């Protein structure tokens, strides 16, 4: 049975100049997320998306940021009923340290690294359900990016997995990665929403009075991947490089640490 991995991000990949209370720049946090679907679920997801767009009277939205709070809650609740698995990688750029210098603050290399982390946890999970390099395909939202360099990087990691986590990339054919504009592939909107839901848990700005919004994540948390005990942290959510490194509010730390998923509905 085929698995399609839809990938999108929230926050900017820029790391040279990061926004603070006193100066502008890229977002302090970066979240990249994947929503994995099988063929039957892809049909149901498109039907759900059309129905919700009709219900809220906004048929042309492509990003979660285009929606109001009640509309996001509605979508999250409907998404929670779909047979999908969600994965997210969260990075606090203030903890990049020497890695930032090593890559000369190159946002493309940072994006590729986060994508690698994401695909590692996705493939590691799908291996449990018969996922392999022939039945896993990946669709990224198209952005201004050198995807050939990304594929070469992933091939290099796959062929020489220095870290144990990278061995999971044996289930990935990097040449199965393709890109679509958001309007070309409506199902990318689910990956966009997943990334947005997690990003709002870490996003603290003057516009939200530095109060993170956890509601969307709480609505869809059951759809995240989990370990054998159903725990999401470490399986469906990867923190770079630890939960403590993210420097989150205590409520969000507790939410991530105790997050549990529903049993898998993948069929192989």
List the strands of the sheet with 3-10, edge to edge: 177-180, 136-141, 3-10, 29-37, 85-92, 237-240
Mean pLDDT over 187-216 rounds to: 93
Instruction: Specify the pLDDT at position 63.
Output: 86
Pairing, β 29-37 against β 3-10: antiparallel
Q: Which residues pair with 87 in a beta bridge?
A: 34
Contact 17, 26 (CB under 8 A): yes
pLDDT band, very low/low/confident/very high, at 6 (cuts 50, 70, 90) = very high
Contact 178, 147 (CB under 8 A): no
Q: What is the CA radius of gyration of the chain?
A: 17
How many helices and strands (H and E) does the chain possess?
8, 6
Which of 11-25, 71-85, 104-118, 207-221 is predicted least confidently?
Answer: 11-25
Instruction: Specify the pLDDT at position 267.
Output: 54
Residue 268 has pLDDT above 50, yes or no: no
Sign of torsion over alpha carbons 100, 102, 106, 111:
negative
pTM of the model: 0.96
Contact 84, 236 (CB under 8 A): no
Residue 193 has pLDDT above 60, yes or no: yes
Residue with tokens 């109001």: 68
How far, in Å, CA of 243 to CA of 262, rounded? 22
Peptide bond into 121 cis (omega under 30): no
Mean pLDDT over 162-187 rounds to: 94
With b for 16 or more beta-carbon neighbours within 10 A and e for fewer, the 7-45 pattern comes to bbbbbbbbbeebbeeeeeebbbbbbbbbbbbbeebbeeb
Sign of torsion over alpha carbons 37, 38, 41, 47:
positive
pLDDT band, very low/low/confident/very high, at 226 (cuts 50, 70, 90) = very high
pLDDT band, very low/low/confident/very high, at 266 (cuts 50, 70, 90) = low
Q: Which domains does the chain have, with CATH numbers?
A: 3-258 (3.30.420.10)
Which of 23-32, 54-63, 71-80, 130-139 is predicted least confidently?
Answer: 54-63
Q: What is the pLDDT of residues 85-106, one digit of tens each?
A: 999 999 999 999 999 999 999 9
How many CB atoms sit inside 10 A of residue 262's CB? 14
How large a percentage of the chain has pLDDT more than 90?
85
Residue bearing the bigger pLDDT, 58 or 231 = 231
Q: What is the pLDDT of residues 118-155, one digit of tens each?
A: 999 999 999 999 999 999 999 999 999 999 999 999 99
């Amino acid at each position: 049975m085929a698995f399609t991995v839809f990938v999108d991000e929230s926050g900017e990949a820029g790391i040279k100049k990061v926004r603070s209370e006193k100066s502008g720049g890229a977002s302090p946090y970066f979240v990249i997320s994947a929503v994995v679907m099988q063929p039957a679920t892809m049909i149901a997801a498109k039907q759900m998306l059309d129905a919700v767009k009709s219900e809220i009277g906004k048929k042309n939205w492509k990003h979660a940021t285009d929606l109001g709070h009640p509309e996001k809650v509605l979508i999250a609740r409907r998404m929670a009923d779909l047979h999908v698995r969600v994965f997210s990688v969260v990075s606090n750029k203030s903890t990049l340290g020497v890695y930032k210098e090593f890559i000369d603050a190159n946002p493309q290399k940072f994006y590729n690294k986060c994508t690698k982390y994401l695909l590692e946890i996705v493939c590691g999970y799908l291996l449990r359900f018969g996922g392999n390099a022939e039945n896993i395909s990946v669709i990224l939202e198209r952005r201004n990016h050198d995807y050939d360099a990304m594929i070469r990087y992933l091939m290099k990691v796959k062929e020489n997995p220095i870290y144990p986590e990278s061995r999971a990339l044996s289930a990935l054919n990097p040449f199965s990665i393709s890109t679509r504009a958001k309007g070309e592939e409506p199902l990318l909107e689910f990956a966009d929403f997943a990334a947005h839901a997690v990003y709002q848990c870490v996003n603290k700005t003057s516009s939200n009075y530095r109060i993170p919004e956890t509601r969307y994540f709480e609505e869809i948390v059951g759809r995240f991947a989990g370990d054998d005990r159903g725990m999401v942290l470490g399986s469906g959510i990867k923190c770079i490089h630890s939960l403590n490194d993210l420097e989150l509010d205590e409520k969000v730390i507790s939410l991530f640490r105790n997050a549990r998923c529903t049993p898998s509905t993948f069929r192989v």
